[in-house]
Amino acid sequence: MREWLANTSGIDLLPEVDSTGSCYATTDCLLPHSDQKAVLSSFFSDQVLNENSEKSMREIFKKSSELQIRSAFQNVFYDDFLLAMDSGNFVERGPVNKRWMNEYDIETASSDGCATEFIKALRSNTMMNFIKSVTGSEYEEPHTTLRIFRLTHGCYTVLGDEDAEQYTKNGPSIDFWFYFGRSNWNEDAGGEIVYIKKDVEEPILRCPPTVGAMAIVRRDEDIYDGYREVVDRSFVGLVHSRK
């Protein structure tokens, strides 16, 4: 099908082609389509997926290398994702001298569940193109690292020299943070993501959990991130996607 479309249209298509269908039994007006964004529109709200928003996000990100979008998700997907996390399999990650985090076991997720579909979308070429459009960043041979955490009382990470070396080895990235929860988060409860720059004593950026929001951060190779200890409450889901 992809080959036929490419030959017929004369357009050099992406490796992954999205398609949608509509029923015209009661109208002869062509409904608007955006096949390129179809895979994302099931998850993200119009706050994220429209030309004006993308332009605004691109301008903000160009100036500050960071941005946050509130009300970033479709309501139906958001509720379904919370339910999926309630029944999901979370595994404790250590060792205790480095971290204590509850991580969602992606490998055991239901093959037809909304969490799996969201993960597929975040790993798709469509998402990669969206990132390029919003951030203006383009990497050779890019890849996605994706993890889902539940922030509960006592969660933390500790950054060491070996972590700094690994960040430097991995090179720069675009970090996406997606926040899911049923109630607002008090910043005093901890759980914020802290960005630390090499040889700089104070953090250069703090990202507290913000329910229903998406945050994007450009991370240079000499910048490292970790979690401040959670001292109160429980946050249902924190999705981290690094490109």
Distances (CA, A) of 66 to 55, 58, 62, 124: 14, 10, 8, 22
pLDDT at 34: 41
CB 162 within 8 A of CB 203: no
Exposure of 44 by Cβ count < 10 A (0-12 exposed, 13-18 middle, 19+ buried)? buried
pLDDT at 23: 53
Local structure of residue 73 (DSSP, 8 states): B
Q: What is the pTM of this model?
A: 0.73
pLDDT at 75: 93
Residue showing tokens 């332009």:
55
Q: Where are the beta strands (DSSP E) in the chain?
A: 66-69, 90-93, 99-104, 145-151, 156-157, 173-180, 193-197, 205-207, 214-219, 223-227, 235-242
What the chain holds in terms of domains, given with CATH numbers, is: 36-242 (2.60.120.620)
Distances (CA, A) of 145 to 148, 176, 241: 11, 10, 6
Peptide bond into 15 cis (omega under 30): no
CB 229 within 8 A of CB 144: no
The parts of the chain modelled with pLDDT lower than 50 are 24-35, 233-236
CB 208 within 8 A of CB 191: yes
